[in-house]
Chain A
């Protein structure tokens, strides 16, 4: 008599079983199948407030500058005592937010090993932004499970620069003289709710940082030494995005530091400062004034079984990573 225990149990008995499951396992159990998910939600079993927040390890990604190019190493796991989470190593760390990691063309949850491929973004209706000779894009991830279970990915354009200005294109005079960021910005945004990219418009609040040409040249000259002002401006950009798009207070006190350390751009427009961004306290961190950033994503794993079943908190820190720290001892926060 081969019985599939879990499938045959009546709801009230299954609920009795799941009631005894610890919150972090219950969160995993929610993924098992539709019936379990419905049951857990229906009975309100998942007490998210009970999920512990503890730190068991860090994901590190070293970056270093070589011949004026930023090179990134593979993400590494740093945990003491060591944990075996081979199944949940990210392949890359493009960006991360509150437990989710943005990889190359996918979003990854190291807690569960879940991975969702990102569809290719469509060609922008603002064709000039797709001119790769002038711009390049970074994808940014926004996710706050206390607000919504859905995440969003933004394609944010940056003005392309190079340490030698003379190799950059100059044919589009109109574009070079235009304000940056533009007063109306159309960004491509992917929402996990729909699974589709859509264009959304953003209105600039405040003055432009300058012109495309001006930013390009100042970036080139500042390349080796970005200022804290530049860095902070980048943060405001993200705050503005996050506030405007998600209504997520990413810059609250507990997370402000995380966000601050998120490297957006050395030369993001300082004037792109939404009114909402001022709600967050402006923090300065000398550590971000560096051309070499070390990305650290913190996560917690379930220690008793030494397995990464649950990711509890994710944060970043940027450290100065001198060449003598690469591959050697990692600075710990």
Chain B
């Protein structure tokens, strides 16, 4: 339990909230971290999640929720400061390193994460994962993109359609 005088998470003075995953695991986390989620922030501002109640999150399993909270806890201080004045270049570099490491995970986890970020309205996390997926597309041919993202092999008709559209865009745009 964080001490009240802790400088971190000053929003609500390290007030704790409890989140309950779809598989009934309870997570206790600082309200400031949970508030990175727009949806949770409203509940928390209404006084929810404190004490023994907990906020049920029926759409998020415990594995995903712990990952989401890992992100929130890391980003809460920067978010609370609004980028100033503690956000030094070192801090930002550290966050960036964390983010890069954070999304270096299986696609199935990425999928769960972006869905959770979407449901909980955690803007930073959603863009982080979306950016990661966008990077996976970068510099690839259409077939390579399909393979990378686990599409099934194209049917002959799909293949023909792909080929046709590959010709369609010859990129001589002005």
Instruction: Please list the residues of chain A having a beta carbon within 8 angstroms of any beta carbon in chain B.
Output: 1-10, 12-13, 16-22, 24-25, 27-34, 37, 48-49, 51, 53, 87, 98-100, 107, 109, 111-116, 143-146, 149-151, 192, 254, 302, 304-305, 307, 309-314
Known: A25-B137, A149-B168, A304-B139. 18 other contacts (CB 8 A): A4-B152, A6-B149, A6-B150, A10-B118, A16-B126, A17-B133, A21-B134, A28-B142, A30-B165, A31-B162, A109-B169, A111-B169, A113-B166, A143-B170, A145-B170, A192-B167, A302-B139, A312-B173
- Whether A17 lies near B130 (C-beta < 8 A) is yes
Dominant secondary structure at the B interface: helix
- Whether A98 lies near B137 (C-beta < 8 A) is no
Contact of A37 among B134, B154, B163, B165 (CB under 8 A): B165
- Whether A99 lies near B171 (C-beta < 8 A) is yes
Given A4-B150, A6-B149, A16-B130, A112 and B169 touching (CB < 8 A)? yes
When distances are taken between beta carbons in the complex, the residues of chain B under 8 Å from A19 are 130
When distances are taken between beta carbons in the complex, the residues of chain B under 8 Å from A16 are 126-127, 130
- Whether A114 lies near B172 (C-beta < 8 A) is no
A6 to B108: give the CA distance in the assembly, Å: 10
- Whether A146 lies near B111 (C-beta < 8 A) is no
Residue of A nearest to B154 (CB): A33
A31 to B164: give the CA distance in the assembly, Å: 8
- Whether B141 lies near A309 (C-beta < 8 A) is yes
Residue of B nearest to A252 (CB): B174
Instruction: Please list the residues of chain B having a beta carbon within 8 angstroms of any beta carbon in chain A.
Output: 107-108, 110-112, 114-115, 118, 126-127, 130-131, 133-134, 137-142, 145-146, 149-152, 154, 158, 161-174
- Residue with the highest number of chain A CB atoms closer than 10 Å, among B111, B114, B154, B174: B174
